[in-house]
């Protein structure tokens, strides 16, 4: 089973790239973030014509997450538990039964958190606390679980081309990284790092200052695996070529392969 995460940075602007990716790579499941659209304007028919079922949470102009699956999506949860007042579209979860077995998958768009001296950073930290609590409850189910998405977290210095440039940024602050480690400490595995220990494995290049041309990237898109999923891990691919296309997302897809 192949599961991809991709912050498309506006599904309507990146619709052609998405449909090309579905046709060329044909992953079993795709976790999308930053749809930037409501469900009414989501290109659902085009995605379904490509052979995928859709479960999504939309929001006009901001946020938005989706699960695309070649197989039916069941037990759908919209929104991260722990704060009923949170109206931001940042979490969707579902159970998918495929030929390779049953897997629970979540698409997560974790808050950016900048500027750190605003209410946005406490919201980010609180969201991460809620994610830790929910992940703990999911792990008790002892299922094949993949928590995928744009975490807006640079876990380690090797995950940035220029770590010093990110000091003081919400993506790299010690508190942010500590809460990410708290997720891993629950028993989750960072899929990429389980397969590849090298520096320079980036998933995001800013549109500004020639970041792509200079390879000034960061790794903030992650797939975290339960022990049951980690036991099936067969590899991870960063689809870097997507960033070189015309009018690309500033993120690229990342795919994990799980053995049947």
Nearest 5°: the CA angle 86, 91, 92 is 130
- pLDDT tens for residues 66-121? 999 999 999 999 999 999 999 999 999 999 998 778 999 999 999 999 999 999 99
Task: Confirm if 83 and 94 have CB atoms less than 8 A apart.
Answer: no
Annotated catalytic residue, options 52, 109, 151, 202: 109
Tell me whether residue 74 is exposed, middle or buried, using C-beta atoms within 10 angstroms of its C-beta: 0 to 12, 13 to 18, 19 or more.
middle
Q: What is the pTM of this model?
A: 0.98
Residue 167 in marked binding region: no
Give strand ranges (E) for 17-132. Answer: 29-33, 53-57, 65-69, 73-78, 91-98, 101-109
**Which DSSP letter does residue 10 get?**
-
Residue closest to 220 by CA, chosen among 243, 204, 242? 204
- Which pLDDT score, from 0 to 100, does residue 98 have? 82
Annotated catalytic residue, options 28, 150, 159, 221: 150
Nearest 5°: the CA angle 210, 16, 239 is 55
Task: Confirm if 49 and 22 have CB atoms less than 8 A apart.
Answer: no
Residue 150 in marked binding region: yes
- pLDDT tens for residues 168-217? 999 999 999 999 999 999 999 999 999 999 999 999 999 998 999 999 99
**Is 109 designated active site?**
yes
How distant is the alpha carbon of residue 184 from its chain centre?
A: 15
Which element (helix H / strand E) includes 259?
none
Average pLDDT over residues 34-53: 98
Query: How many CA atoms are closer than 13 Å to the CA of 145, on its beta-carbon side?
Result: 20
User: For tokens 């859709």, what's the residue?
Assistant: 54
Residue 9 in marked binding region: no
Reported residue count of the chain is 260
Per-domain residue ranges of the chain: 2-258
* Cα separation, 31 vs 129, whole angstroms: 21
- Which pLDDT score, from 0 to 100, does residue 232 have? 97
Tell me whether residue 19 is exposed, middle or buried, using C-beta atoms within 10 angstroms of its C-beta: 0 to 12, 13 to 18, 19 or more.
middle
Residue 251 in marked binding region: yes
Residue 117 in marked binding region: no
Instruction: Domain 2-258: give its CATH superfamily.
Output: Endonuclease/exonuclease/phosphatase (3.60.10.10)
Q: Which pLDDT band holds residue 260 (cuts at 50, 70, 90)?
A: confident
Residues with Cβ < 8 Å from 115, sequence gap 6 or more?
Answer: 121, 170
Residues with Cβ < 8 Å from 82, sequence gap 6 or more?
Answer: 129, 130, 133, 134
């Amino acid at each position: 089973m192949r599961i991809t995460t991709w912050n498309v940075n506006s599904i309507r602007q990146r619709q052609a790239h998405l449909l090309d990716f579905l046709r060329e790579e044909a992953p079993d499941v795709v976790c999308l973030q930053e749809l930037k659209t409501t469900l009414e304007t989501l290109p659902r028919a085009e995605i379904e014509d490509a052979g995928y079922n859709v479960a999504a949470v939309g929001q006009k102009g901001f946020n938005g997450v989706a699960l695309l699956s070649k197989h039916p999506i069941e037990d759908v949860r919209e929104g991260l538990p722990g704060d009923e007042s949170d109206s931001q579209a940042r979490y969707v979860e579902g159970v998918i039964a495929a030929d390779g077995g049953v897997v629970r998958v979540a698409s997560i768009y974790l808050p950016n958190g900048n500027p750190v001296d605003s209410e946005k950073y406490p919201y980010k930290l609180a969201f991460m606390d809620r994610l830790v609590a929910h992940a703990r409850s999911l792990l008790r189910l002892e299922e094949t679980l993949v928590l995928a998405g744009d975490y807006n977290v640079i876990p380690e210095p090797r995950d940035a081309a220029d770590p010093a440039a990110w000091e003081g940024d919400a993506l790299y602050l010690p508190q942010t990284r500590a809460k990410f480690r708290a997720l891993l400490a629950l028993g989750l595995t960072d899929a990429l790092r389980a397969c590849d220990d090298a520096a320079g494995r980036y998933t995001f290049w800013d549109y500004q200052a020639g970041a792509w041309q200079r390879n000034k990237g960061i790794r903030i898109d992650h797939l975290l695996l339960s022990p049951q999923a980690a036991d099936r891990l067969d590899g991870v691919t960063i689809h870097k070529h997507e960033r070189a296309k015309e009018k690309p997302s500033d993120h690229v897809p990342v795919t994990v392969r799980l053995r049947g």
